């Protein structure tokens, strides 16, 4: 019998904040008009979308005209890459072998249509090799660099400003998948040389099925989805009204309380790291966990053990939700492409734990307790 349920898979999705649900409710009930309609009901909902657009733009220091609402991060990534090819004349894409599949699979499809793809080398702990990136940029081809701000499995952070400067130096376009970092870090589009950013609201306590693409006003693209004049003729289809309202509210909550949230979640991560070290001889961490790393993600690697293939399942049975990798690969028989690229020993048990502002120290203590029971070790005294 499970006495406690602990959710440590926030990199996959986060619970919606109560304030977000409250903000969305009127647009599920009274404010139901189609934003494309010119009558009162339509004007009301159109105004709500444009207000949300201004809120989103404010928090990344962009112009409202640079925000295109989408169904989420995957669509936004696809749009950035495909429009770069279709509308900006890109013939060369530089990416990395540890990107999210929303980027990797899109780039793989592009390579079937005479787009040259280069994969930048990684350092031993999983960071982008900036020297190699600069070498790859030394080409006459019109180039798009697509590198994520933080890896969704190991948490390594990209020095976006440095990459942006390299792209500027070699006249390349720059797209960054910021799905894991939007709402968790200040991202200032006026201080970074960048052309595309992507967002999924459900990664920072907003609703699923909505996100946005930031597209710099310095470039011009055409519609990827046809059928209507919505989103300034760039994405046809009736807008996800209450999703957009919820996204804006989630961003407001995230950024108005960012320092508090960061301090709390980093404290949770640091506490967990110390407890794992105390209780599990031989535990290591994939990526740069204690260096330049996303504070919401920790990828722990346990020494080979007879519970290797069942540990995640057994944690679930005991009320702890975590992940073996990216949730977008759930149901796949393939191992993590990220850990494979890092050369992680496949005999070790690798678990991604990810945290939110709702995670508590008691959640960590319970998880440590269950891990020690399952792996047959004695836990050090816990927080309480």
Catalytic residue set: 328
Q: How far is CA 147 from the centre of its chain?
A: 12
DSSP string over 283-309? -EESSSTTSSB-TTEEEEEEPP-TTTT
Bridge pairing between strands 6-7 and 320-321 = parallel
The strand order across the sheet containing 284-285 reads 284-285, 297-302, 349-354
DSSP string over 304-337? P-TTTTTHHHHHHHTTEE-BSS-GGGTT-SS--H
The residue whose two tokens read 């926030």 is: 10
CB 273 within 8 A of CB 289: yes
CB 261 within 8 A of CB 69: no
Phi, psi (degrees; rounded to nearest 5) at 218: -75, -15
Torsion of the alpha carbons at 362, 350, 7 and 150, rounded to the nearest 10: 100
Within 10 angstroms of residue 364's Cβ, the number of other Cβ atoms is: 23
Of the CA atoms within 13 Å of residue 312, those in its CB half-sphere come to 16
DSSP H or E segment with residue 57:
helix 40-59
């Amino acid at each position: 019998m499970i006495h406690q349920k602990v959710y440590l898979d926030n990199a996959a999705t986060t619970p919606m904040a109560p304030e977000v649900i409250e903000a969305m409710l009127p647009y599920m009930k009274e404010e139901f008009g189609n934003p494309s309609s010119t009558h009162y009901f339509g004007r009301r909902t159109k105004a709500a979308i444009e207000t949300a657009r201004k809120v989103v733009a404010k928090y990344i220091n962009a112009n409202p005209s640079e925000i295109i609402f989408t169904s989420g991060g995957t669509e936004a990534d696809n749009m950035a890459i495909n429009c770069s090819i279709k509308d900006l004349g890109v013939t060369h894409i530089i990416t990395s072998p540890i990107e999210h599949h929303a980027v990797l699979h899109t780039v793989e499809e592009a390579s079937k249509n005479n787009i040259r793809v280069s994969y930048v080398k990684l350092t031993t702990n999983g960071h982008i090799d900036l020297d190699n990136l600069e070498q790859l940029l030394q080409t006459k081809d019109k180039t798009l660099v697509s590198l994520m701000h933080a890896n969704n499995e190991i948490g390594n952070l990209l020095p976006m400003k440095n990459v942006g400067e390299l792209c500027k130096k070699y006249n390349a376009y720059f797209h960054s998948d910021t799905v894991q970092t939007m709402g968790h870090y200040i991202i200032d589009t006026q201080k970074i040389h960048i052309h595309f950013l992507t967002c999924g609201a459900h990664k920072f306590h907003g609703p699923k099925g909505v996100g946005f693409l930031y597209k710099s006003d310095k470039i011009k693209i055409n519609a990827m989805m046809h059928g209507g004049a919505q989103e300034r003729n760039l994405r046809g289809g009736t807008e996800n009204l209450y999703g957009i309202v919820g996204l804006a509210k989630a961003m407001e909550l995230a950024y108005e309380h960012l320092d508090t949230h960061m301090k709390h979640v980093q404290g949770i991560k640091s506490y967990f790291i110390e407890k794992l070290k105390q209780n599990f001889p031989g535990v290591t961490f994939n990526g740069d966990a204690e260096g330049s790393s996303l504070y919401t993600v920790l990828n722990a690697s346990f020494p080979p053990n007879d519970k290797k293939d069942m540990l995640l399942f057994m944690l679930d049975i005991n009320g702890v939700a975590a992940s073996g990798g990216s949730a977008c690969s759930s149901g796949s028989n393939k191992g993590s492409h990220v850990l494979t690229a890092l050369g992680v020993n496949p005999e070790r048990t690798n678990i991604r734990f990810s945290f939110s502002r709702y995670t508590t120290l008691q959640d960590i203590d319970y998880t440590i307790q269950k891990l020690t029971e399952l792996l047959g070790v004695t836990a050090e005294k816990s927080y309480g």
